[in-house]
Structure 1
Amino acid sequence: MFRLLRWRLGRTLLRAAGRRCGGCTARLLPERAGDAGPGAERLRTRGAPARGHRVLPLLAALAWFSRTAAAEEQPGEDATDEAEAEIIQLLKRAKLSIMKDEPEAAELILHDALRLAYESDNKKAITYTYDLMANLAFIRGQLENAEQLFKATMSYLLGGGMKQEDNAIVEISLKLANIYAAQNKQEFALAGYEFCISTLEGKIEREKELAEDIMSEERANTYLLLGMCLDSCARYLLFSKQLSQAQRMYEKALQICQEIQGERHPQTIVLMSDLATALDAQGHFDDAYIYMQRASDLAREINHPELHMVLSNLAAILIHRERYTQAKEIYQEALKQAELKRDEFSVQHIREELAELSRKSRLLT
């Protein structure tokens, strides 16, 4: 069947972290012969030959909500203590280096910040610095290092009295689950996703009893974090070819995103495309088309940053429904959008899909 861009599970790590790092994908899950990781294997639509057009989930780096897991533990901006003021300046410099894609410089600065935090026994600074170091390792694809740093961050948060159901703890647990998924540690990954989802669902139920009609910012963030957990779990299930389970997770995630962020939000559109992917992989081409068509309409309306990918997915589903002329038109539109975005990888991919579609059309005539 006709395929989409060969994204890897590693990109999900960036998305879950609320980050984007161009070029990091290969470091997260290098593609090489014999790679057994879940991100290295392409999904195939049921009954499809080994070569052809396939639809894979969009892994756009669109955060559900942007915040650092240990944000509540950040040192105060109005610090008068000289050591704490110096730590804050170092952390700001580290963040700037990360934004400028200078990870080596950021790492050195963070080590200086951590040393000062320990010397001054500033537990909030220690926790926050560990969290930044963990996210940096996460972004760079240093998964084992990121795992240890996230565990250290969690240990400090729990040791400081934070409850296990706190969103910050769940968010770190989600990142750990994504790391295990990328390392193909299925038992740990699924256990991590289950912990995150069940913890948040229980928390939401208890909050409903306390304030049925109130949707505070914190409560909205809890819903969105649940959606992100469902989304990450669904993607892992999809790569693991547990397709019906992935579909159910995507349906729940999409419902949450629509309710909290609205139908036109970029993340909602990504989830529509992802749900269509799960349906398409099961051979439910008509249902997949409904979701993908809606996603593409909305993506055009808001000029979605991944419009070309949504369109490419739509074209692949049209081919599965044997609508070759329409598929060619959509691929051509996707190609123009990819060229405008200067996404060379997507441009090459879409051109290959058009060439394959042309060969297929000649065989049918």
Structure 2
Amino acid sequence: MLRTAVSRGLRSGCRFWIPASGRSCRAPLRPASGFRSSLARPNVQSRRRSLGSWSGTSLALLATIGIFQWGEKQLASEDEIILLIKHAKLSAAKGELKDAERILHQALHMAQQAQNNQAISYIYCQMANLAFLHGDLLSAELLFKATMSQLLGSGMQQDDNALIEISLKLCNIYATTDRHYLAVEGYNWCIETLEEKVQHEEAVPEEALSAEERENTRLLLAMAQDSCARYLLSRGQLELATTLYQKALTIAQDVHGEAHPQAVVLLNDLATVLDMKGCYDQAYKYISRAFSLARETGHTDEHRILSNMARILVHAGNYTEARKVYEEALKQAKLKGDELAMQHIQEGLEELDASTHSSHGQGQARHQ
């Protein structure tokens, strides 16, 4: 059933990026500026974020599809489908993923019996997100493709934000499963398409397109740039990652302001890549600003930002200040019960001890 759904709605030569059997349904993209084909699975030290962290744009699909806009006269089956979906979402929110999956399968069966394509598309997307959270990437991939095919078959435009967001999720799956060509082609397509769309929307009269719609497209572009930057960073493509982080940060700050949580995280990530490049003064400038904003706004990742600041200070040779910052970061991490952050901070302290010991040994050697 899924294989049929995946292939449905795709036309020969279409420009929309939806790989099938390891190949794209259109001609290969020309290499976009800032991209290379030698990419691999992300494994970066900076804070990992899912696409859902861009809350301003991450719900593009849900905004487009909705929970279904029924008329006043509703069929009983439609009411039942909606109720099942609500129960599934509640189960997922409670962490009861198996129950949520079972309920969604019931809703899907009912939607298919009713031949309600709108409901089928929405349920496919919910099931895909659930499989992604569960770590079942193969099922998530199939379901995301099925969702895209359903939406294309229903007449949705191929550059719709909802479809591009799903494409980004597929990019993450390809990156995680070491399908590098598909990952980079996908990121390339998403960014190019969104850049063209942003440029087009700027020329559209205000009465024809709301400010919110324009902002959503720009934020989705920033999300694509951020995701691709982390991918490039994992492969040591530091210059390209820096450029994309800067672009994403500019959009986030323009739309939401400098103190927005996502803008603060991007400041932190930009500092991370600059640290990796050896640009310690620039890195410290960005991380200091990120920390100030995090403290002012009560950012949930303040202790992680402090940890990154300490690491930058270590690399810059400022060991005394680095130890103070690490100790403060560790204190906050303990208060928040963030065991993963505590582990990273302990590793950082070990690196600091090794650097301090090495520096002390070199000083003694020079005096002998």
| 1:321 corresponds to | 316
| 1:345 corresponds to | 340
Task: Verify the 8 A CA contact 1:258 1:268 in the aligned structure 2.
Answer: yes
Question: Which is bigger in relative contact order (C-alpha 8 A, separation at least 6)?
Answer: 1
| 1:84 corresponds to | 78
Give the C-alpha shift of residue 353 in structure 1: 2.2
Supply the distance in 2 between the matched residues of 1:355 and 1:252 (Cα, whole angstroms): 34
| 1:57 corresponds to | 46
Give the C-alpha shift of residue 359 in structure 1: 4.1
Unaligned runs of 5+ in 1: 1-35, 43-55
Give the letter aligned to residue 76 of structure 1: Q
1:152-231 map, 5 Å: 152-211=146-205, 216-231=211-226
| 1:256 corresponds to | 251
Give the letter aligned to residue 68 of structure 2: P
Task: Verify the 8 A CA contact 1:134 1:149 in the aligned structure 2.
Answer: yes
1:1-365 map, 5 Å: 38-39=41-42, 56-60=45-49, 62-65=53-56, 66-67=58-59, 69-73=61-65, 74-76=67-69, 80-211=74-205, 216-365=211-360
Supply the distance in 2 between the matched residues of 1:363 and 1:323 (Cα, whole angstroms): 14
What secondary structure, in the 3-state scheme, does the structure 2 residue paired with 1:38 have? coil
Task: Verify the 8 A CA contact 2:41 2:180 in the aligned structure 1.
Answer: no
Give the letter aligned to residue 192 of structure 1: G
| 1:32 corresponds to | none
Task: Verify the 8 A CA contact 2:40 2:235 in the aligned structure 1.
Answer: no
Task: Verify the 8 A CA contact 2:40 2:234 in the aligned structure 1.
Answer: no
CA 1:256–1:79 in structure 2 vs 1: closer, same or farther (change >3 Å)? farther
| 1:24 corresponds to | none
Larger Rg: 2
Give the letter aligned to residue 128 of structure 1: Y
Give the C-alpha shift of residue 215 in structure 1: 5.8
What secondary structure, in the 3-state scheme, does the structure 2 residue paired with 1:210 have? coil
Q: Where has structure 1 moved over 4 Å in runs of 4 or more?
A: 212-215
Supply the distance in 1 between the matched residues of 2:156 and 2:306 (Cα, whole angstroms): 44
Supply the distance in 2 between the matched residues of 1:86 and 1:204 (Cα, whole angstroms): 39
Give the C-alpha shift of residue 76 in structure 1: 2.9
Task: Verify the 8 A CA contact 2:232 2:241 in the aligned structure 1.
Answer: yes
TM-score scaled by structure 2?
A: 0.82
What secondary structure, in the 3-state scheme, does the structure 1 residue paired with 2:61 have? coil
Supply the distance in 2 between the matched residues of 1:267 and 1:318 (Cα, whole angstroms): 24
Give the C-alpha shift of residue 279 in structure 1: 1.2
Deviates more, 1:66-75 or 1:322-331: 66-75
Give the letter aligned to residue 69 of structure 2: G
Give the C-alpha shift of residue 79 in structure 1: 6.2
Give the letter aligned to residue 48 of structure 2: L
Task: Verify the 8 A CA contact 1:75 1:84 in the aligned structure 2.
Answer: no
Give the letter aligned to residue 204 of structure 2: L
CA 1:194–1:212 in structure 2 vs 1: closer, same or farther (change >3 Å)? farther
Give the letter aligned to residue 83 of structure 1: S
Unaligned runs of 5+ in 2: 1-38, 361-368
Task: Verify the 8 A CA contact 1:83 1:120 in the aligned structure 2.
Answer: yes
CA 1:174–1:335 in structure 2 vs 1: closer, same or farther (change >3 Å)? same
Give the C-alpha shift of residue 363 in structure 1: 3.8
Supply the distance in 1 between the matched residues of 2:130 and 2:260 (Cα, whole angstroms): 27
Deviates more, 1:69-78 or 1:231-240: 69-78
Deviates more, 1:282-291 or 1:305-314: 282-291
Task: Verify the 8 A CA contact 1:170 1:196 in the aligned structure 2.
Answer: yes
Supply the distance in 2 between the matched residues of 1:194 and 1:279 (Cα, whole angstroms): 23
